[in-house]
Structure formats: C-alpha cells, structure tokens
Amino acid sequence: MGSGWHDSYIGNLRKVLGSQKIIVNSVRAILLDDEGRALFIKRSGDKKWGMPAGAMELDESVFEAMKREVKEETGLDVLKATLIAIYSSPTTQTFTDRWGNEHHIIEYLFKVDEWTGTLERETNESVDAKFYPLDNLPEASSELFAKHHERVFKDFKKFDGKIILE
C-alpha cells in the first residue's frame, strides 16, 4: 500500500501507459447501521459523496482490498462480508476520469456483515462520513455514479445468496 495515488498500482500503471484504457479491479462496500442506513463518505479529492470503494493493490485479495479501503476511508475494521455482485460489463463499467484516463472497471460489491470501530468522519481520503436512509441517498458525483448507486442498492435488495454477475 503506497502513501498516495501516485504510489499506488494504478498510479504506477498510469506513469507507463498514460491515459489509454486499462482494466481496473475495484471493490465497493455497503455498510448499514442498526437503522438500515447506508454509509457514504465525502471524498477528499472531489468533495463528492460515494460508498467506501477503491482499486485493488498488488499482492492483496479482493477481500483484503475491500477491508483496506473501508479502513482508509472510514476508520472502521471489516470483520465479515458477503460478496453480492461482480460488475464487469464494458458498456456500463467503462469511464474516463477527470484527467482523461480511460478505465474498464471490474467491481466486486460486498455487503459488510460485521464491522467494529468508531466511524471517523475525516481521514486522509474523506472529509465527512454519514449514514443515509436508502430512500434518501446523497447526491453522487455524476449521473453515471448516481445510476450505479441505484443499481447497487437494487441488487442489494434482491440478493438471495447467489452472486449477481453483470
């Protein structure tokens, strides 16, 4: 785990490949409080709300990546989680970031079943963190992410123990 994006696996790939499209394995976590509200963080970079999420680093498993991202962005420690979905469709999982870098994202969606710790509202990666009712989620950073959040929670609600593959 590096000290910042430029030291990360993706940051190092970008130094070599520039902005050409790459495949990025990423994780996203749904954390619910006792009232069934979902945890969102306001990212320190763009000041936009999103669920705890991020890219895998070298030499870590998908589960380890999710645990690391949740810890980095919220201060919470994930103890148990269930894989709900894997999203990989090039038509819905490809985007260009604000720097012109193209990504085809393979995302592993987890529901965190058990976690511990105290929520940190500010970390190196977030400037706020709050739980929101599922019918009143915060405004996403873009229409693309707003639609993805809707999809994620729709899949969460219909999850019956069989991993959703898209």
Per-residue pLDDT at 148 exceeds 90:
no
Which residue ranges make up each domain of the chain? 23-165
- For the stretch 47-77, pLDDT in tens is 889 999 999 999 999 999 999 999 999 999 9
- For the stretch 74-91, pLDDT in tens is 999 999 999 999 999 988
State mean pLDDT over 98-109.
92
Per-residue pLDDT at 32 exceeds 90:
yes
Give whichever of 83-87, 94-98, 145-149 has the largest mean pLDDT: 83-87
> Which token pair is 132?
């929101």
- CATH architecture of the domain covering 23-165: Alpha-Beta Complex (3.90)
87 in Cβ contact with 110 (< 8 Å): no
Q: What is the DSSP letter of 46?
A: T
State mean pLDDT over 156-161.
96
Q: Which residue has the higher pLDDT, 100 or 141?
A: 100
| Spatial distance between the Cα atoms of 105 and 25, rounded to a whole number of angstroms | 6
Q: Is the pTM of this model over 0.85?
A: yes
Single out the residue of 28, 36, 77, 17 nearest to residue 52, CA to CA. Answer: 28
